[in-house]
Structure 1
Amino acid sequence: MKPLIYVFYEGESEQQYIDYLKSCFSDVAVIKRCSKRASTNLFADTKSRFEKDKKYRDVAEATDEIWFFFDVESKDRADEIWSERLKTINYLRKLRKKPNIRVRLLMTSGCVEYWFMLHFKDCAPPTQTDADKKKLVEDVKKIIPTYKKGDKDSIWKIAPNYPTAIKYAQKRLQSIKEIPCIEDTDERNHWLCKNCLTFSTVFEALDFLESLNSMV
């Protein structure tokens, strides 16, 4: 059986990247994204879907993984925000028994364009201010001149370079000396959200999909 993965996301660019992954890995995984991005609080919105929407509630026991694809920004650093997110994560995990649903946080500091840049070069620029984010968009345009947020054609030109992004994102995470651990744990993810350093954990989802490919 192919693993069933539901993906919830913040922006239109993430939506197009997910659609590329659906196409690329359709032989080894069933990837389903929510029909529209969260309008306000990504985590609260997702919890509400599984509580109130029959479409999600009825497939919870068959769901193997749930992914949150989002940016980590300075405004999200408060411990109270992480505490609320963790409540949602734990709620979702327990919707399936033995084993629980695996919840992955596909996080990128500042904006998704940093993740896109890692598809082409090893870099760790500042990502938190509006000026930082604008520069990252311009940097992506230097490589893919047609790029704009949510544009399928340009994002589908970026996405096939994901093996390079895996390598550089992993290298970046390993270079952060203060991080409590490299492995995907709640402790690590809380630390990353709180400290807002330049990083992306999207590569971990790609690593997982690649591991499924190797088993075929």
Structure 2
Amino acid sequence: MGRIKRKTSPAFAIVADGETEIWYLQMMQRNERRVRLTIKPELPKKKRIEDQCELVCKLAQGEYDKVFWIVDLDQIVKERREATGVKKDPMQTFIECRKRVLSSKKYSNRIRVIVNNPCLEFWFLLHFMHTSKSFDCYDQVEKELKKYIQDYNKSVGYFKKPNNDIYLKLKPRLKKAIEHSDLLGVFTPETPSKAVSEMPQFFRTEELKGLF
């Protein structure tokens, strides 16, 4: 009689231009014992949208069950502001890259593009309130968020603090954040400046179905 093979845990790659998204999801994994998966951070060496998109497509052809590309639009706005002599608008580049990976039969089942506008902290804010206000930048969101989490700061020590990490702070309000996010809808190329957080995509992915 052959040996029964143990089912392996799903493997997710997380591509983001910053580390806060990685820290947050790592803390989710640490605290949710029912979630049996492997999360591997894939921080792009180059921050340009084209380079991130190339990395996402490359990873989707490898060992991962899913590749999550988490995009903070304030970074694209920053790239647009700092670009000099660039023929193509960074926002338009992102919209085209997003369309390419989501419409491709090769990638559509393995890649998820998650947009936060302006940043991940907007997702955190939705745990406490529903708002459709379009914040211009991280600083504005942080100011509002600190009304609810006074000691918030963007550091690995804060995010991963034993017994009081960022996920534990927010977990009791997770369902409310998902509800608030749903009310805002999803990112659309026609209205790229509207407030949005697509983080519920992660919690609703097939491999985590029914756990949140």
Structure 2 runs not aligned, ≥5 long:
1-6, 81-88
CA distance 1:48–1:65, shift in 2 (3 Å): closer
Percent identical pairs in the alignment equals: 16
- Bigger Rg, structure 1 or 2: 2
The alpha-carbon distance between structure 1 residues 35 and 26, as it changes in their structure 2 partners (threshold 3 A), is farther
- Alignment partner of 2:129: what SS? coil
Structure 1 residue runs of 5 or longer lacking an equivalent are 174-181, 183-188
Normalising by structure 2, we get a TM-score of 0.70
1:102 to 99, 110, 114: 110
Q: 2:145 aligns with which of 140, 149, 154?
A: 140
Cα 1:31/1:197, change in 2 over 3 Å: farther
Which of 181, 194, 197 does residue 169 from structure 1 map onto?
Answer: 181
Q: Which residues of 2 match residues 64-213 of structure 1 at below 5 A?
A: 64-73=65-74, 74=77, 75=80, 78-87=91-100, 94=106, 101-127=109-135, 129-130=136-137, 133-150=138-155, 151-152=158-159, 153=161, 155-160=166-171, 161-173=173-185, 189-191=187-189, 195-208=192-205, 211-213=209-211
The TM-score, its normalising length taken from structure 1, stands at: 0.69
Count of aligned pairs:
185
Secondary structure of residue in 2 paired with 1:23: helix
Corresponding residue SS for 1:104: strand
Partner Cα distance (1:6, 1:145) in 2: 31
- Distance in 1 between residues matched to 2:44 and 2:122, nearest whole Å: 20
Determine which of 11, 32, 52 is the counterpart of 1:4. 11
Q: Distance in 2 between matches of 1:37 and 1:145?
A: 31
Q: Residue type matched to 2:139 in 1?
A: K
Contact 2:29 2:35 in 1 (8 A): no
Separation in 1, partners of 2:44, 2:176: 27
Q: Which amino acid aligns with 1:65?
A: K
Contact 2:129–2:180 (Cα < 8 Å) also in 1: yes
Cα deviation, 1:23-56, whole Å, max 9, x if unaligned, reads: 24453442323254554125524634765xxxx5
* Contact 1:47-1:88 within 8 A present in 2 as well: no
